[in-house]
Amino acid sequence: MDNLKGQSDRGLLPSFRAAVLGGQHEELLCTLDSIAAGSRENLGVAARCLACIADVLACMAGEGRGGLRSGPAANPAWSHAFSVLEQGDLLGGVQALATERAKWLSRPHLLVRAARHYEGAGQVLLRQAVMSSQRFISIGQGEVPPLGEWQDVECPARLDLSGGWSDTPPIAFEHMVAQWSTWR
């Protein structure tokens, strides 16, 4: 779990598959809940933990079972958990997600639907993380640089890689840490 806290770009899915096959999924889910709930200072880590929980749930459903993983995350049973996250209560939101998740573990199609809702909850946190950048931005009057003089400017890049934006999951979780350090 140091990979999550340290924001490593190492993929964790093989470890999740092994944990599920070894019957350790309950402990793994509790650990991921704990890391997510404790990541108030880094919503990106919390969001990745929720995406990892979605991966674990999909592994629990079994390869090719439970239906399509992509789809809506709008079941009313999950609305309370989403509302708590929207209000900025990360600990309460993670706990509400876990409480609802416990009701969806009995069949493959329910596990896949729960995974969709965890991915949706991760998107809530990513949106909040992106919106928090506003506190670092100021707009005001400045001096106009001299004409004909080169100016160096730094800004993050957004790349479209075969239909996946570089700043959205899963690309952002698995590859952006290494790329970001090379771009700066």
DSSP string, 46-95: HHHHHHHHHHHHHHHH-TT-SS-S-S----GGGHHHHHHHHTT-HHHHHH
pLDDT at 177 over 50: no
Please give the pLDDT value at position 138: 76
- The mean per-residue pLDDT over the stretch 166-172 comes to 58
Q: Which has more pLDDT, 137 or 84?
A: 84
Please give the pLDDT value at position 90: 96
* 165 DSSP β-pair partners: 160
pLDDT at 95 over 70: yes
Please give the pLDDT value at position 144: 85
Concatenated DSSP letters of 12-23: -HHHHHHHHHTT
Asked if 117 and 75 count as a contact pair (C-beta separation under 8 A), the reply is: yes
pLDDT at 92 over 70: yes
With cut-offs at 50, 70 and 90, classify the pLDDT of residue 156: low
pLDDT at 66 over 80: yes
* 164 sits in which H/E element: strand 164-165
pLDDT at 184 over 50: no
Please give the pLDDT value at position 53: 96
With cut-offs at 50, 70 and 90, classify the pLDDT of residue 11: confident
Q: State whether residue 6 is helix, strand or coil.
A: coil
pLDDT at 55 over 70: yes
Q: Which has more pLDDT, 59 or 153?
A: 59
* 165 sits in which H/E element: strand 164-165
- In the chain, what percentage of residues exceed pLDDT 90? 51
pLDDT at 153 over 50: yes
pLDDT at 69 over 90: no
Instruction: Judge residue 17's burial from the number of C-beta atoms within 10 Å of its C-beta, 0-12 exposed, 13-18 middle, 19 or more buried.
Output: middle
- The reported pTM is 0.75
